[in-house]
A and B are shown apart, each in its own frame.
Chain A
Amino acid sequence: MSQLAFEAKNVAKYFGKVKALDNVTLSSQQGKIFCLLGPNGAGKTTLVNILATLSEPTKGTLKVLGVNVVEKPERVRELIGLAGQFAAVDEYLTGEENLFMIAKLYHLSTKEARSRTKQILTELRLDDAAKRQVRTYSGGMRRRLDLGASLVGRPKILFLDEPTTGLDPRTRLELWGIIRELVKEGTSILLTTQYLDEADELADHIAVVDRGKLIAEGTSAQLKAKLGGDVIKFELDKPSDKDRAIKMVTSIATKAVTYDSPTNEVIVPVGGHGSSKLIDIVRALDKANIKANTLALHQPTLDDVFLSLIGTKASDVATDKSSKKSRRHS
C-alpha cells in the first residue's frame, strides 16, 4: 500500500518554554502497529493528541491517510478512533448507552446504531454488562468499553494512548489479543506505551522518544542490533582453560571477548548473526578440547536498548523539572 497510515514531518509543540515535541519526523505504513515508546513526559500523548486533532502543532506537517490534520480536521475525525489511558466513557451511563450515544454521534441511523452497539458489545465480550452503569465495571471492562467506543466508527487508523497502563497482566493479554485481531482486519494502529515488553510483543515498528525528541527507531530487532547485537556466553568447566578459550574464540568475536571470573563465563560479542556463530564457537572449543558446561545465545532485550539510549535517567525522568512540566501537558 502506497498511502501512509500517518506521517509527521518536523513536528514541534511548545507549551510556553517547554518543548513537548521537538522536531519529530515519523511515519507508518498501513495495516501495521507503530509503537511510540518512552517514559512519562516523553511527548507521546502530545503527538497522539495532535494526530487526533485535539491539539494543534506549533510547527510541522501531519497527515493521517494523506489528509492534513491541521487543514482538514473534520475529515481526519472520520478516519480515526481514539482510546486513551483514561477510559473516556460516561460512568453513569450503561455500556450500551455509551456505545449507542457514540454511534449516534457518528450519524448512524437508530437501527444501524443499535446493531453496531450490539456487535461491539459482543466483540469485546461485554454483553453481560451491557445494561449496567459503567461505574460498576472493573478497570479492565472500562478499558474494553473505551476501546469499543473508539471502534464504533470503524476507524481506518486507531490511536491507542497507553491502553494497558494500570491493567492487571491477564487483562493486558486480553487487550493485546484484541489489538492483534484489529490489525488482522486491516486497521492501522499507533500505540503509545512505556512498557518495553508491550512494544516488543506488538509493534512492527518502534520509535523511542524522550523529552520531546525522537531518539531511535526501527523494528525491535534493528533496535537490538543497534546496541551491538547478540552475545554468546559459555561457562568453563575448568577456570584454567580461560586463556586458551579466549584465544580460540577471539577470531569469531566482533568485539573484545571478556571473562567473568565469579561465574567462570566467557562472553563473546558476535554482532547480528548470533545463531550461525554458535556453531563456530562449538567447533573451536571442541578442536581445542575445552569443556564448556553451558553455552547460550543472548539477544539484548528492549530494556537494554532503552536504557542504553535514554541512559540511567530513564527512571528518574519523572523527577526532572522540565519533563515534569511537559508531562502535565502531554
Chain B
Amino acid sequence: MSLTTKIYHQTSDTWAITKRNLLRYIRLPQLVFFSSIQPIIFLTLFNFVFGGALGASGAALHGKYINYLLPGIMIQVTLFGGLQTGIGLATDMSSGIVSRFRSLPMSRGAVLSGRTIADTLRNVIVIGIMLGYGYLLGFRFSSGILDALIMIGVVLLFGFAFCWVSAFTGMKAKDAETAQLSSFVLVFPLIFASAAFVPITTMPKWLQHFANNQPITFAVEAARHFAVGTPMDGAIWKLLLWIGGILLVFIPLSVYTYRKRA
C-alpha cells in the first residue's frame, strides 16, 4: 500500500469514527448535559457565589470577577469534557464495539484519534456557549480579536492534549465507572490547586509551590493573558512545552495500549 493511500485511509477512518462520536454526543442526554448545562451551572455558581468575596480580595479584573473567572473555568470545563474521552473508550471496550473495530482492516489509531478529535470539536461548542453566557454576565475580551482567537486556540489545544491522557487512563481502567473515578481523582486537585479560581498568593506556601508549577496554572494564566491582558510570565511557553510533552508521551502510549492484543 502506498503512503498516500495509507494516509488517505487513516484520515477517512478517523473521520468515520469522529462522526460516530459526534452523533452520540447529540443523542446521549448525559453528554449534552456535560457539554452545555454543566458549564452554565459552573459559571453561574462560581460567579455569583464566590464573585462577591473573591472579587473584593483582588481577583477582580477590570472591575469584575467574571473577567478573572471565565478563562479559568473554561480550562476546567475543557478538562471535565476531556474525561469523557476515557469514559467513552472504557464504555466502548466493554460493550464489544472495540472488538468489532479491531477485527476490521481499518487503521489502528483511528478509534483514538476519532474520539479525541470529536471531543475537541465538542469543546468548540462548549467554549462558544461559555463565551456567549460569559458575555451576558459581563465578561469582555480586552486585547483584541487576535488575542481572543489565540486564547480559544490555547484552551482547545490544552483540551486536546488532555484527551490523550484521558484516553490512556480510560483504556487502562477497563470499565467506565473506574475510568470516571480515577480521572476525577486526577483532575480535581489539579484544577483547584491552580490559578483557575483564586490568586495563588492566597494559598499556603507549600501549596503555592505546587500551584505555581503545574500545567493547569500555565494554561489558565496563558488563557487569561490572551483574554484580558494579565501578565503571564512566560506561561504560554511552559504550557506549549507541557502540551508537546503530553502529546509525545500519551499518543504513542495510548495507541500502543489500544493495539496491544491480549
Contact = CB atoms under 8 A, between A and B. Distances in A.
Given A88-B96, A93-B23, A153 B104 contact: yes
B97 interface: yes
A56 interface: yes
A88 B104 contact: no
B27 interface: yes
B100 A82 contact: yes
Interface in A81-121: 81-82, 84, 86-90, 92-93, 97, 101-102, 104-107
A90 B24 contact: yes
Contact of B23 (A74, A84, A97): A97
Given A104-B12, A105-B16, A92 B101 contact: no
Interface in B79-108: 95-97, 99-106
Nearest to A53: B103
A73 B144 CA distance: 53
B19 A107 contact: no
Contact of B104 (A93, A102, A133): A102
B19 to A, nearest CB: 7
The secondary-structure label for the interface of chain B is helix
A92 B24 contact: yes
The range of chain B's interface size is: 20 to 34
Interface string B1-18: 000000001001101110
A101 B261 CA distance: 23
Contacts of A149: 100
Interface residues on A, range: 20 to 34
B103 A54 contact: yes
Interface of B: 9, 12-13, 15-17, 19-20, 23-24, 27-28, 95-97, 99-106, 110, 261-262
9 contacts: A49-B99, A52-B103, A53-B103, A56-B262, A82-B103, A97-B23, A104-B13, A104-B15, A105-B13
